[in-house]
């Protein structure tokens, strides 16, 4: 083998042996290497990720560094990261948004933790540096304002609604517009009008991710929301037990009927960690994984039960902020990275 000399070509050749673990192509083919500079023995470049929440960033960095260091004459490798979230240019509804990815969180059943997942995922993506919005489409039981600790909207400007902001996330909910405790009775067209306005009349700005918390169930209202909102993908939240599984299958069918790709399954309340180190499986086990396997979608992770999750929601300080090192917060963080990765894969597969 001819000894390689240090040059732009040899660095790119080395980096073309490093595969992006999720997109299954090399960094050079994916045009992820930017600003390559060689100065004496020092090689510096940026890696342009498809999401700032990239779960495999460390692995990519290590592999890129190792590959470049093998070239004779390299004394130092400086790697920076940057991110450009690919645009899912799908054209599913007539609503146009400056949002690269719109993701709905759904379940067949109520009370399984959709809003909890939506809130913590949104904050986690924002903490990674992404521009994130959170739309509470649960017009029957809007819990997002309480969970995010925001009570009202800022004044609107130029006739457009300014979303509230908490933990770096822009938030919109019908909860801002009604008196607490007031019953909400919606007829089909009103529901459509309200959600349409939440999308078009709210000054979301440019967003990388808009997370949508759907109302529980798989009835007409939910179905029509998935048709109205220009979704890039849907996430199903389920509990481990059989009855929740059966409801989740209906949630999955709802997305499929409306041609919304299912990005994966999240299992919530998987177990309770006991003081003696053992785990109690209150709701049984395995439902989430089984659902993902049988429906051929990704299993995005399990979130343990923890009273801190509940108190975080009630106090307006979600667990990912209040106890970032706890097991549920770490699970939610990993899940948010996987969702971002699934969205990148799905957007790039569409050729954009």
Ligand X SMILES: Nc1ncnc2c1ncn2[C@@H]1O[C@H](COP(=O)(O)OP(=O)(O)OP(=O)(O)O)[C@@H](O)[C@H]1O
For binding to Mg ion (CB under 5 A), which residues are involved? 114-115, 143
What is the β-pairing status of strands 233-238 and 99-106? parallel
Query: Exactly one of 328, 337, 341, 342 binds ligand X (CB under 6 A); which one?
Result: 328
Going by C-alpha positions, the residue among 267, 212, 203 that lies closest to residue 241 is 267
**What does DSSP assign to residue 159?**
T
> Least distance (Å) from ligand X to the CB of residue 47?
34
Look-up of token digits 């967003």 = 207
> Least distance (Å) from Mg ion to the CB of residue 237?
10
Contact 303, 269 (CB under 8 A): yes
**What does DSSP assign to residue 74?**
-
- Please report, as residue ranges, which positions from 236 to 275 form the binding site for ligand X (by CB under 6 A): 268-269
Going by C-alpha positions, the residue among 259, 313, 324, 323 that lies closest to residue 118 is 313
Going by C-alpha positions, the residue among 97, 222, 103, 109 that lies closest to residue 163 is 97
Give how far the C-alpha of residue 261 lies from the chain's centroid of Cα atoms, to the nearest Å.
14
**By the rule CB under 6 A, 136 interacts with ligand X:** no
Nearest to Mg ion of 143, 244 (CB atom):
143
* Contact map string, positions 69 to 108, toward ligand X, x by CB under 6 A: --------------------------------------x-
CA distance linking residue 286 with residue 271, whole number of Å: 11
Find which of Mg ion, ligand X, none residue 111 binds, CB within 5 to 8 Å per kind. Answer: ligand X
Stretch that binds ligand X, among 16-24, 126-134, 303-311, 335-343 (CB under 6 A): 303-311
CA distance linking residue 337 with residue 328, whole number of Å: 14
Find which of Mg ion, ligand X, none residue 310 binds, CB within 5 to 8 Å per kind. Answer: ligand X
Going by C-alpha positions, the residue among 322, 341, 343 that lies closest to residue 120 is 322
Stretch that binds ligand X, among 6-14, 137-145, 156-164, 170-178 (CB under 6 A): 137-145
Find which of Mg ion, ligand X, none residue 116 binds, CB within 5 to 8 Å per kind. Answer: ligand X
Both structure tokens of 102 = 């719109």
**By the rule CB under 6 A, 303 interacts with ligand X:** yes
Nearest to ligand X of 38, 308 (CB atom):
308
Binding stretches for ligand X (CB under 6 A): 107, 110-116, 138, 141, 143, 216, 268-269, 303, 305-306, 309-310, 313, 328
């Amino acid at each position: 083998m001819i000894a390689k000399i240090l040059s732009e070509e040899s660095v790119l050749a080395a980096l073309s042996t490093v595969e992006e673990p999720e997109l299954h192509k090399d960094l050079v083919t994916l045009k992820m290497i930017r600003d390559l500079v060689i100065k004496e023995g020092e090689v510096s470049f940026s890696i342009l990720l498809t999401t700032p929440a990239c779960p495999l960033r460390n692995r990519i960095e290590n592999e890129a560094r190792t590959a470049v260091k093998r070239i004779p004459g390299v004394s130092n490798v400086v790697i920076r990261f940057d991110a450009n979230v690919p645009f899912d240019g799908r054209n599913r509804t007539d609503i146009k948004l400056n949002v690269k990815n719109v993701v709905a969180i759904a379940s067949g059943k109520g009370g399984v933790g959709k809003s909890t997942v939506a809130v913590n995922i949104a904050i986690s993506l924002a903490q990674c540096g992404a521009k994130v919005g959170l739309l509470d489409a649960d017009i029957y039981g809007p819990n997002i304002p309480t969970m995010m600790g925001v009570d009202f909207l800022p004044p609107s400007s130029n006739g457009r609604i300014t979303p509230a902001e908490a933990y770096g996330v822009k938030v919109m909910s019908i909860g801002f517009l009604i008196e607490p405790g007031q019953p909400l009775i919606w007829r089909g067209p009103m529901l459509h009008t309200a959600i349409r306005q939440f999308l078009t009349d709210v000054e979301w700005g440019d967003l990388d991710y808009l997370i949508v918390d759907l109302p529980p169930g798989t009835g007409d209202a939910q179905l029509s929301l998935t048709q109205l909102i220009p979704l890039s993908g849907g996430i199903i939240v389920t509990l481990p037990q059989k009855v929740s599984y059966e409801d989740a299958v209906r949630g999955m069918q709802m997305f499929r009927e409306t041609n919304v790709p299912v990005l994966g399954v999240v299992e919530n309340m998987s177990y309770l960690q006991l003081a003696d180190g053992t785990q109690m499986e209150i709701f049984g086990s395995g439902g989430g994984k089984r659902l993902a396997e049988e429906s051929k979608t990704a299993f995005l992770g399990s979130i343990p039960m923890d009273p801190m999750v509940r108190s975080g929601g009630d106090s307006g300080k979600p667990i990912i902020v209040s106890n970032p090192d706890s097991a549920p917060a770490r699970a939610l963080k990993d899940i948010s990275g996987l969702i971002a990765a699934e969205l990148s894969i799905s957007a790039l597969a569409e050729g954009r």
